Every structure is written in C-alpha cells, then in structure tokens.
Structure 1
Amino acid sequence: MTLTMSRELRLRILSAIVMIIVVLSATWFGGFAFKVVAVAIGLLVYYEWSTITRLAEGNLRANAFGWFSMALVSLNMLFGQAGLTVPLFAGLLITAAIPSLLRRVSWWQPAGFLYAGLTAISLSAIRGEDQLGFIAMLFVFVVVWATDILAYFVGRAIGGPKLAPRISPGKTWSGAIGGAVAGVVGGMLVAMAHFQDVGLWVAVVALTLSVASEVGDLFESFIKRRFGVKDSSRLIPGHGGVMDRVDGLVFACFAAFFLAIGSSAGSANAVVSMGAFLFGL
C-alpha cells in the first residue's frame, strides 16, 4: 500500500511539474504559443464536458455541431483575425442554443460550448500580445493558486461551518475566507513587483477573481455530482482531468473578461486592454 501511494505521489508531482513548465513557458512567450495552450485547454474541457454530460448519447448531431463550433473558434483564434473571434463565438452559441429553446436538445450542449469556448477566449484575451498581458496572466494565476492552496489548508486547520455541503462537503467558510485573503495578498504582491503605484482597485479585482475562482470550483463539483462522476477524466496522470485542474482558473478568467468588457462599454479595444483594466492603468 505504501509503495502504491508512493508511486501515485511521484506521478502526481511529475505531472504537476510538467504542467507548470508548459503553462508558464507558454505564458512567458505569449503570442501563438500561448494561444495553442489556450485552445488545447478549451478543446479538452469540451471533451470532458461532453463526456460527463453524455452529450453524444443525448443527440449525436448536436454534439457534432458542438465539436464543429469549437474547431471553428479554435482555428480562428490560431490563424484568423482576432477581432472576429468573439462575434464568431457569439453567433455559433446562439445557433447552438436555438434547438435547446425548441426543447429538441438538452441545455447541457450549448452550455458546454459556452464554458469551453469562453475558457479559450478569455485565457487568450488576458495574456494578449505584450508584457502587460504577461503580468496580467501571472496575476490571475497567482490569485487562483493562492486561493486554492490556502483555502485547502485553512479549511483543514480551522474547519467550521460548511460552505456548500450539498455540492462539496469538504469546503468550509473558513477555507473560503482564508483563500480569498490569500488571493488578494498574492495578487497585490504580483502587482507591487511590477508597478510603483498600486491602488485599492487592484485589491478589489484580486478579491473578485478569488471569489470567482471559488465559485468555479463549486460549479465543477456541482456538475460532477449531478452526473455522478469523481473526476472529469483521467487525462492528467495523478490529477484526474483538465476541468479538475482549471475549474477555478476558468471562472476567474470569465470574471476578468466580462469586467473588462463591461468597463469599456462595448469598446472595440476591450479585449486588447485587458491588462490595463486589471491594474487600473
């Protein structure tokens, strides 16, 4: 038993190291390299979503359209015009939602495309093409990682009332608060390491992303509990699936993406100025 656990632990650590190297390297280089990672994450998330929710069993044609839509958005992100990505995504999403409105297809199908497609788009939008995008992506990573790690340890150390016992029995309010505090501190440290004047706005953004991260974690727990699965898949040795690893990151990116678009009042530069928005520049 000890030997088995030791092998599992080594496999888990090795997988984590490889993932960190790949993601941080792509984040550093940015451009096409990061878009490839963002697209890969989006496609894998859609694969896991469609598997968990059994989309192919419900309606093979609808599932095929979902894959077609993901492929089209991914190809445009990699080789097309950046300005067309969001309109293309919105058009395909509306098209995917029409059969659900007519009650011919389950809402899990368009929801999966929304979740996976927006994952790739928001990740790419935050990273952008410049150094500010690199700092912004690093900021999001640190907020999410700090939230996740400290929520786990504070929750185990203090315990107390459960956060959402019907969805995730192990999570506590103490862990959630501890994680949020850690997320704000981590985000502030990243900002202060790169900017001389860091205001309250950065702390507000960090807190928002931290809370969104915890909501994302609960959301994925809800999906898995709804369909009776333990892990989203077994794609990552020792870690389960991609959704298991990026659930909090996904919702944090969603929050940053929509806050930036909202603050720009629909400006064409909303996505480009993501980093400037995060740091109040």
Structure 2
Amino acid sequence: MMSNTKERVISALVMAVLVVAAVYFGKSTTLIAVLVASVLCIDEMLINFAKLTRKDFIYKYVMVFFSLFFIAINGMNARVSLNVFTIAAILMNCFLIYYLFRVPLADGFMKKSTEKNPSIIAVLVAVPMLSFGIHFESDAWRQILGMLLIVTYSMDTGAWFVGKNFGKHKLWPAVSPKKTVEGFIGGIIIAAVCGSFAWDIFFGQFRWYYSIIFGLCGAMSQVGDLIQSKIKREFEIKDSSNLIPGHGGVYDRIDSLIFLSPFFVIVVKYLGQQISL
C-alpha cells in the first residue's frame, strides 16, 4: 500500500503539472481551470457539509448561478464587479477571522447557519472565487498568480514538513490537532524566503522588508486553513471529500489560497507599483 507521504507528493506533482499547463496555454485556459476548481469546491460544500444531493433545487441553483456569474464578470472583463467582490471577500475574511478566534467551537455557529440556509456554506468559496479574476487584470498575471501559489504552498509544505519532523508543541489541538507551533513558524520562514526569491526573480526591486510581508502572507494563508479546520470540526468531517489522494478534497487543497487571495491584491498593489492591478 502506498504511504500517505508518497500519495501527497504524487498528487501534488500532478496538480502542479495541471496548473502549469493551464497557465502556459493562457489566461482563458487558466480562468477555466479556476472555474472548474471553484465548482468542485462548491460541490463539496453543498454535498458533504450542507448534506444536499445533486438533484436538489438549491444545489442546481447555486451551481448554475455561480458558473454563469463567474463567466459573465470574467468574460466581459467587468473590472468594477471584480473590485466589488474583492472588497466583499476581504470583509468576509475579516468576519471569518472573528469566527475563528472569538466564536466558541461548541456554539456550532457555521453548522446551525447551514442547517437554516444550506446555500450559505457555498458563499465561503463563491465570494473569493468570484473576485479571483482580478489577478488576471494585469499584464503580469502569470507572475502574480505564481507569487500567490508560491507563498501559499511554501507555507503549507513548510509547515507540514517542519511539523512532521520537528513539531513538539501543538498549535491549536481543539481545532487542528496535527498542526504544531514549530510547523507554523517554520512555514512562515519558508514562505518568507521563497516569496522573496520569487519576487526578485519575477519583478526585481526587492527590499529586505518584503520578506516580512511574505511571511505574514504565509501566516494569513494558515489562518485560512485553521478556519476550514474549525468548520470541519463543527460538521464532524475529516476531509471535504476524498477526490485527491493524500490531500482529501479540492477545498482541503485550496482553502488557504482562497483565503489569502483577496488580501494578496493589497500586497501586490503596495509592493508592485509598476504592476497595473
């Protein structure tokens, strides 16, 4: 039987190849890949969290509405809509940070809200993914997307590797039992280093304090992962699905990316004044 580590590595390589291929073929192909990933995430939220079936009206309504709206605002380059959804995603993330640190797990806030309105759980994915197209508004969209991916997954991989090999102190056992303080710190350092090198290669004009900013971005992506972990705890779900061997579901794999994405728009605007975003 293949070990979990080997499954993770193979799955990660396959996903990396798919992302690189999509980016290589251009903006339209990459946006299609984003749409597919979004639809798969929303499917996981509605099926495994909200306990709907694919025959339910709410399921069909959410899927169709999201897909058509995503195609409309990205196909027509609706910059105003992209900006509005970016602001909405940032505000929603601020609420989710409050939810993570201030709302007791025992309250079951997200689960009770979903029971009252099953479609509400899909908003966690729909809003940030409807804003994701703003990263493609720049001529340097490949580099911007590359930076977002590098910072997010260097944090994720660094935290996993350091935590697995050197982790001794639990970060937040009630929310995510496997995460460690050592892994969290190690991930931040690796995200800072990888993000700094990537920015210098892509854009140049690197400043020493950029490392601090990319480290904070890594920490922010980990907050997104902790939020997802807390939600799964409420719903008593281990993974959003079992679609990706060694990783769980699509939402399990891109939760940090989804959370960091709207904040990263601010980072790019601040660091790259030469980049039109």
TM-score by length of 2: 0.76
1:112 corresponds to which residue? 122
2:65 corresponds to which residue? 69
2:2 corresponds to which residue? 5
Write out aligned runs for 1:107-256 (5 A).
109-113=119-123, 115-130=124-139, 132-200=140-208, 202-256=210-264
**Which ranges of structure 1 fall in alignment gaps of 5 or more residues?**
94-102, 261-274
- Superposition RMSD in Å: 3.1
Cα distance between partner residues in 2 of 1:112 and 1:138 = 26
Contact 1:155/1:176 (<8 A) preserved: yes
Label 1:162 to 1:238 Cα distance change in 2 as closer, same or farther (>3 A).
closer
Identity of aligned residues (%): 27
The worse-fitting range, judged by mean Cα deviation, of 14-23 and 198-207 is: 198-207
Contact 1:34/1:124 (<8 A) preserved: no
1:206-238 CA distances to partner (integer Å, 9 max, x unpaired)? 123211111111122122222122221122244
Work out the number of aligned pairs and report it: 248
1:96 corresponds to which residue? none
Contact 1:12/1:238 (<8 A) preserved: yes
**Which ranges of structure 2 fall in alignment gaps of 5 or more residues?**
90-112
Label 1:141 to 1:52 Cα distance change in 2 as closer, same or farther (>3 A).
same
Cα distance between partner residues in 2 of 1:277 and 1:69 = 34
2:23 corresponds to which residue? 27
Residue 17 of structure 1 and its aligned partner are, at CA, apart by 2.6
User: SS of the counterpart of 2:2?
Assistant: helix
Contact 2:175/2:233 (<8 A) preserved: yes
Contact 2:168/2:180 (<8 A) preserved: yes
Residue number among 30, 34, 40 corresponding to 2:36 in the alignment: 40
2:14 corresponds to which residue? 18
Cα distance between partner residues in 1 of 2:196 and 2:262 = 20
Cα distance between partner residues in 2 of 1:66 and 1:31 = 25
